[in-house]
């Protein structure tokens, strides 16, 4: 596997545009390998993604995330991640976990959400393999079932429960520290990529959550401009 540039697709939601930029910053400033960002923006997918929005969708990219292998021309590997995350470690460490035995790799969460509603009053849906698809390393050539036609017509559970694979043996496991669910799990210092799954610190009611101070510090670095030479 000699793919040196890490391809990262990030779900983009117009309700939380700042999240995309802060996550990208947190990845950039820690990565020891070149990274290539592709935001998955619905307005950029005209003619490719055509399905109607479902009332249960909490984000604009709930289903469009599964276009990642197609948008990668079914070549090499790509990472998809939700925008409401923050990198606390070198993304190259995650990249090094790629295993050709698998079609997809993710953190295999086994939990029941603690809350009934999340950001902006949206229902917290509960289903098997909850949050597995919030961070996925796709082995793109082995994910050809995820054609635009399939992504546009499959049910939400078919997509999020990886029913597009022949069996679950094709799903590799990533350590939980690479998709650490804020508030759902106890805070730990070795979390490498934290996920503000209930709501990001940019929403008033979540501004004091675990790791929020680190998120705001990263936001400040996004906004930094040096005014004069030292």
Give residue-wise pLDDT tens across range 85-95: 999 999 999 99
Two tokens, residue 107: 């953190």
Between 137 and 52, name the one with better pLDDT.
Answer: 137
What is the pLDDT at residue 222?
A: 97
pLDDT band at 119 (very low <50, low <70, confident <90, very high): very low
Query: Looking at residues 28-57, what average pLDDT do you find?
Result: 91
pLDDT per residue as tens digits for the range 179-226:
999 999 999 999 999 999 999 999 999 999 999 999 999 999 999 998
- Whole-structure pTM value: 0.90
Q: Name the fold adopted by 6-223.
A: Spore Coat Polysaccharide Biosynthesis Protein SpsA; Chain A (3.90.550)
What is the pLDDT at residue 229?
A: 73
- 138 and 78 Cβ atoms separated by less than 8 Å: yes
């Amino acid at each position: 596997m000699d793919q040196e540039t890490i391809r990262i697709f990030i779900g983009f939601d117009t309700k939380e545009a700042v999240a995309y930029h802060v996550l990208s910053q947190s990845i950039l400033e820690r990565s020891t390998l070149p990274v290539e960002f592709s935001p998955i923006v619905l307005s950029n997918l005209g003619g490719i993604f055509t399905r109607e929005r479902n009332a249960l969708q909490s984000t604009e990219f709930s289903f469009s995330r599964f276009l990642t292998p197609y948008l990668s021309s079914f070549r090499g590997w790509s990472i998809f991640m939700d925008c409401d995350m923050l990198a606390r470690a070198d993304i190259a460490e995650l990249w090094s976990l790629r295993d050709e035995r698998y079609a997809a790799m993710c953190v295999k969460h086994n939990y029941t959400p603690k809350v009934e509603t999340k950001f902006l009053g949206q229902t917290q849906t509960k289903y098997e393999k909850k949050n597995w698809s919030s961070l996925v390393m796709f082995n793109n050539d082995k994910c050809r079932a995820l054609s635009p036609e399939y992504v546009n017509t499959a049910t939400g559970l078919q997509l999020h429960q990886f029913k597009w694979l022949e069996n679950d043996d094709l799903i590799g496991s990533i350590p939980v520290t690479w998709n650490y669910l804020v508030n759902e799990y106890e805070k730990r210092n070795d979390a490498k990529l934290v996920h503000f799954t209930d709501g990001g610190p940019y929403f008033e009611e979540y501004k004091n959550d675990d790791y929020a101070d680190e998120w705001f510090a990263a936001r400040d670095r996004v906004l930094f401009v040096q005014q004069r030479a030292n």
